[in-house]
Chain A
Amino acid sequence: MNVTSILRAVRRLPISGKVGLVLVLFWIAIAAIGPFIAPYPPGSFANEEVFAGSSGQFWLGSDFLGRDVLSRLLSGARFTVGLSAVAVTIAVCIGTGFALMAAVGPRWVDELLSRAMDTLISIPSKIFALVLVAAFGSSLVLLTLIIAITYVPGNFRIARSLAVGLVRLDYVEVARARGEGRLHLALVEVLPNMIKPLFADIGLRFVFIVLLLSGLSFLGLGLQPPDADLGSLVRENTSGLAEGALAIIAPAVAIASLTVGVNLLIDAATQGKAR
């Protein structure tokens, strides 16, 4: 993959895909440089007025404590983007890894993993996360791990059903008859053929993680102050909803644009290849 081929791929994307790409790149950029271009430290009580509207000094107004919404948004984006991306990656690696093991491995491995995953998935995710956070605390690393673990079983379920379907197909049987090892079967024969539907799943799962973060902040868990992810920004400013404060609209729009962007891009990219 060189630069020109990437550019060609981008040019072939439908409009929706290009919009998605722009949104995703925008949020990655914000996540990277946001804290450096924020006009105020995220915790500083810059404005005496709470839920102030937009002004030259405070582009997105002030929040429920009189802090600068723009600064908090710029600083918060990296948590939502980074944490969700890392958590989804971990979840998918473990989930899909297990799924491949279950598909190509001996029967008992499949049974064991399936039972273990059923166990995890049947406990409602928010309550599961609540118990883990209460038991282990909520540092950034722990929070990422807890969220990742919460979403492993969902990915496993989908990946396993894809992989089991593929393993039964003729070309895999042929490879097996050729005497290829299980690792080869999993990584060379099966995995490449399930990438596309897997990506669609990753997109949705990314959204769920962003939402779980905000749901956790609703239950009083989540990141340590004064840091806040986008969902927490929405949550902590809900009292401004009735007056239509920018402090709640801005982070809500941010979440929507990020998650919609990711999914538009993934949809377009995976469909693009199909045609």
Chain B
Amino acid sequence: MVDLSSTALSRRGLLGGLASGLVLAPADRLIGKPRTGGRIRVASIASSTADTLDPAKGNLSTDYLRHYLLYSGLTQYDSQVRGQPALAVSMETRDNVVWTIKLRSGVHFHNGKAFGADDVVYSLMRHRDAAVGSKVAAIAEQFASARANGKLEVELRLTGPNPDLPIILAAPQFLIVENGRRDFSVANGTGPFVLHAFSPGIRTVVRRNPNFWKPGKPYLDEIEVIAIPDELSRVNALLSGDVQMINAVSPGSVKRVRASSGHAIMETKSGLFTDLVMRRDHPVTGHPDFVLAMKYLMDRELIKRALFRGFATIGNDQPISPLDPYFNPDIPQRQFDPDRARFLLKRAGLLGTRLPVYVSPAANLSVDMGSILQEHAAQIGLKLAVNRVPSDGYWSTHWMKHPLTFGNVNPRPTADMMFSLFFQSKATANESGWNSPQFDKMLIEARQATDPARRKAIYGDMQWLVHNHGGVGVPVFISLLDGYDRRLRGLFPIPLGGFMGYTFGEHVWLDA
């Protein structure tokens, strides 16, 4: 198995070592031979008129799901969130700045056009065009230039070193579209399925691509994707056989799904978390003692038990989950300690303070976490007023805009991405307004480091910094729960999202 998160290996360009029909580790463990044929319907959590066929605009889980069905990327994730070869057969670099990407030959778009270097150059560089409205425009800023060397080779030059490029390019927004494509009322990709029908906010129907570049795949004839926003209805639809797979099963429904003989739950441990955000620019929430007190006031065990029924991993007030290869296990776990919290608040003269904390269904379970926090705070003499606001408009008007809010951070494929998006001083989504020059310096240092051990050490120290001084409380990492019909085979978790990191389409088959 090629580890693309390791700089040494990708620098030597080992990525090309794998044959086209790549075998993923967990697949070995599966019983039974894949069977071709059959149609299934899957239900995701949300869809709207903003649903799109343009990968660059993909914003919601349902979009990712749709795009991975229709398009392929240069690389793709495996169960360890490493970038495996896909449309790229190898990615070579000496300095992590200039990358030579060799492309797979004999791949065709759904409309019959041959796939080549022009398509890759266009697909990568369009993210830098403001008119495209790309969701990853900030990441694509590091693409300095891309150039085609012949039909099947691309040279991508970055603005600075980034050893994680193969992982980044597996993201759903970087899926490859046809050179010059602007009209996304149809989808023309190289993915495992061909678009059959699409109505924004209603449904997507895709059918098997007989010319898919992975021989034998995909297995299913047809997949219909719909959305059922209400969790209870989603579970009911699964149990009544109207859909064969759903994501975002609430922990409370797991017992019901498991009680059905025809259905099962797939738990995907992930780096997803809901965090308490304490703004630095406010006299109370910016006070180090207050920040620490709130971290001690988080009853992580209760949150894990009551809110998640155990389907969570205890967090330690920093954003790198134990799943991540760069996770630092040496940081001691912060325990629930109301006495210590009370002591800290008293020392800071903040006991008896009255503060609103903003929660919203938009941030996964923040309403209930807020209630728990409020209850414990009341017991030590801190008055938190839970202010629940509608999902609608939460991210634009409340999140990060009040002293105490809750955020919700999706898993990111690399530690670099997590830190640069949410903790770097200048980042737009630097939730707490944290400003640590030391941290910023280490972030750049880690990117430049060519030795994996050195990177791990730096990332480890950065986790210490956030754990001790960062303005966010991370109580738990949330497991993603998918429910599925037992006849559906070939599933394994990919920690970036439900539905196998949204890429289930090409892997699964339906047992008769």
- A residues within 8 Å of B by Cβ? 41, 43-45, 48, 50, 64-66, 130, 133-134, 137-138, 219-221, 224-226, 238-243
Interface string of B299-318 (1 = CB under 8 A from A): 00010011101000000000
Cross-chain contact A225 with B361 (CB below 8 angstroms) = no
Enumerate chain A residues within 8 angstroms of B309, measured Cβ to Cβ: 50
**Total A-B residue contacts, Cβ distance less than 8 Å:** 62
Task: Identify the closest chain A residue to B392 (Cβ).
Answer: A134
Kindly provide the distance from the CB of A178 to the nearest chain B CB, expressed in whole angstroms. 55
Complex-state Cα separation, A229 to B385, whole angstroms: 18
Cross-chain contact A50 with B306 (CB below 8 angstroms) = yes
Complex-state Cα separation, A41 to B390, whole angstroms: 25
B390 partner, pick from A64, A133, A225, A242, beta carbons under 8 A: A133
Cross-chain contact A65 with B388 (CB below 8 angstroms) = no
A226 partner, pick from B232, B361, B374, B389, beta carbons under 8 A: B374
Complex-state Cα separation, A18 to B391, whole angstroms: 44
Contacts A45-B306, A45-B375, A220-B361 hold; do A65 and B368 have CB atoms under 8 A apart?
A: yes
Contacts A65-B368, A220-B361, A242-B256 hold; do A225 and B375 have CB atoms under 8 A apart?
A: no
A224 partner, pick from B307, B368, B387, beta carbons under 8 A: B387
Cross-chain contact B306 with A66 (CB below 8 angstroms) = yes
Complex-state Cα separation, A110 to B7, whole angstroms: 78
Cross-chain contact A225 with B388 (CB below 8 angstroms) = yes
Kindly provide the distance from the CB of B505 to the nearest chain A CB, expressed in whole angstroms. 29
Complex-state Cα separation, A221 to B394, whole angstroms: 12
In this complex, the member of B359, B371, B374, B391 whose beta carbon has the largest number of chain A beta carbons within 10 angstroms is: B371
Cross-chain contact A220 with B375 (CB below 8 angstroms) = no
Contacts A137-B389, A224-B386, A224-B387 hold; do A45 and B256 have CB atoms under 8 A apart?
A: no
B253 partner, pick from A219, A221, A239, beta carbons under 8 A: A239
Interface string of B231-264 (1 = CB under 8 A from A): 1100000000000000000101101100000000
Interface string of B364-399 (1 = CB under 8 A from A): 000110111011000000000111111111000000
Cross-chain contact A226 with B371 (CB below 8 angstroms) = yes
Enumerate chain A residues within 8 angstroms of B359, measured Cβ to Cβ: 225
Complex-state Cα separation, A242 to B388, whole angstroms: 27
A134 partner, pick from B253, B255, B385, B390, beta carbons under 8 A: B390
Cross-chain contact B375 with A43 (CB below 8 angstroms) = yes
Kindly provide the distance from the CB of A207 to the nearest chain B CB, expressed in whole angstroms. 23
Kindly provide the distance from the CB of B304 to the nearest chain A CB, expressed in whole angstroms. 13
Task: Identify the closest chain A residue to B302 (Cβ).
Answer: A45
Kindly provide the distance from the CB of A232 to the nearest chain B CB, expressed in whole angstroms. 11
Kindly provide the distance from the CB of A14 to the nearest chain B CB, expressed in whole angstroms. 40
Contacts A224-B387, A225-B370, A226-B375 hold; do A134 and B256 have CB atoms under 8 A apart?
A: no
A225 partner, pick from B306, B371, B393, beta carbons under 8 A: B371
Q: Lowest 6 A-B CB distances belong to which pairs?
A: A239-B252, A220-B361, A134-B392, A43-B375, A225-B371, A226-B371
Task: Identify the closest chain B residue to A43 (Cβ).
Answer: B375
Enumerate chain B residues within 8 angstroms of A224, measured Cβ to Cβ: 385-388
B232 partner, pick from A44, A45, A134, A239, beta carbons under 8 A: A239
Complex-state Cα separation, A138 to B302, whole angstroms: 28
Q: Is the interface of A mostly helix, strand, loop or mixed?
A: loop
Contacts A65-B368, A226-B386 hold; do A220 and B250 have CB atoms under 8 A apart?
A: no
Interchain Cβ contacts under 8 Å between A and B, 14 examples: A41-B375, A43-B375, A44-B375, A65-B307, A130-B390, A130-B392, A138-B389, A220-B361, A224-B386, A225-B359, A225-B388, A226-B371, A226-B386, A243-B256
In this complex, the member of B252, B307, B309 whose beta carbon has the largest number of chain A beta carbons within 10 angstroms is: B252
Complex-state Cα separation, A166 to B23, whole angstroms: 83
Contacts A50-B252, A50-B306 hold; do A238 and B232 have CB atoms under 8 A apart?
A: yes
Task: Identify the closest chain B residue to A226 (Cβ).
Answer: B371
Q: Name the interface residues of B338-384: CB closer than 8 Å to any CB of A.
A: 359-361, 367-368, 370-372, 374-375
Enumerate chain B residues within 8 angstroms of A134, measured Cβ to Cβ: 390, 392-393
Cross-chain contact B232 with A241 (CB below 8 angstroms) = yes
Task: Identify the closest chain B residue to A239 (Cβ).
Answer: B252
Complex-state Cα separation, A220 to B388, whole angstroms: 9
Complex-state Cα separation, A85 to B231, whole angstroms: 32
Complex-state Cα separation, A240 to B406, whole angstroms: 26
Complex-state Cα separation, A220 to B392, whole angstroms: 9
Kindly provide the distance from the CB of B240 to the nearest chain A CB, expressed in whole angstroms. 12
Enumerate chain B residues within 8 angstroms of A240, measured Cβ to Cβ: 252
Complex-state Cα separation, A44 to B306, whole angstroms: 12
Q: Name the interface residues of B413-443: CB closer than 8 Å to any CB of A.
A: none
Kindly provide the distance from the CB of B413 to the nearest chain A CB, expressed in whole angstroms. 30
Extra pairs beyond A226-B374, A242-B256 (6, CB < 8 Å)? A65-B307, A65-B371, A134-B390, A224-B385, A226-B375, A226-B386
Task: Identify the closest chain A residue to B253 (Cβ).
Answer: A239
Complex-state Cα separation, A41 to B372, whole angstroms: 13
Kindly provide the distance from the CB of A38 to the nearest chain B CB, expressed in whole angstroms. 15
Complex-state Cα separation, A238 to B385, whole angstroms: 26
Cross-chain contact A64 with B252 (CB below 8 angstroms) = yes
Complex-state Cα separation, A143 to B390, whole angstroms: 13
Cross-chain contact A225 with B252 (CB below 8 angstroms) = no
Enumerate chain A residues within 8 angstroms of B368, measured Cβ to Cβ: 65, 225
Enumerate chain A residues within 8 angstroms of B390, measured Cβ to Cβ: 130, 133-134, 138, 219-221
Enumerate chain B residues within 8 angstroms of A219, measured Cβ to Cβ: 390
Task: Identify the closest chain B residue to A66 (Cβ).
Answer: B306
Enumerate chain B residues within 8 angstroms of A243, measured Cβ to Cβ: 255-256
Enumerate chain B residues within 8 angstroms of A43, measured Cβ to Cβ: 371, 374-375
Enumerate chain B residues within 8 angstroms of A241, measured Cβ to Cβ: 232
Task: Identify the closest chain A residue to B375 (Cβ).
Answer: A43
Kindly provide the distance from the CB of A13 to the nearest chain B CB, expressed in whole angstroms. 41
Enumerate chain B residues within 8 angstroms of A44, measured Cβ to Cβ: 375
Cross-chain contact A225 with B367 (CB below 8 angstroms) = yes
In this complex, the member of A44, A66, A225 whose beta carbon has the largest number of chain B beta carbons within 10 angstroms is: A225
Complex-state Cα separation, A43 to B252, whole angstroms: 19
Enumerate chain B residues within 8 angstroms of A221, measured Cβ to Cβ: 390
Task: Identify the closest chain A residue to B236 (Cβ).
Answer: A242
Kindly provide the distance from the CB of B358 to the nearest chain A CB, expressed in whole angstroms. 11
Kindly provide the distance from the CB of B446 to the nearest chain A CB, expressed in whole angstroms. 40
Enumerate chain A residues within 8 angstroms of B306, measured Cβ to Cβ: 45, 50, 65-66
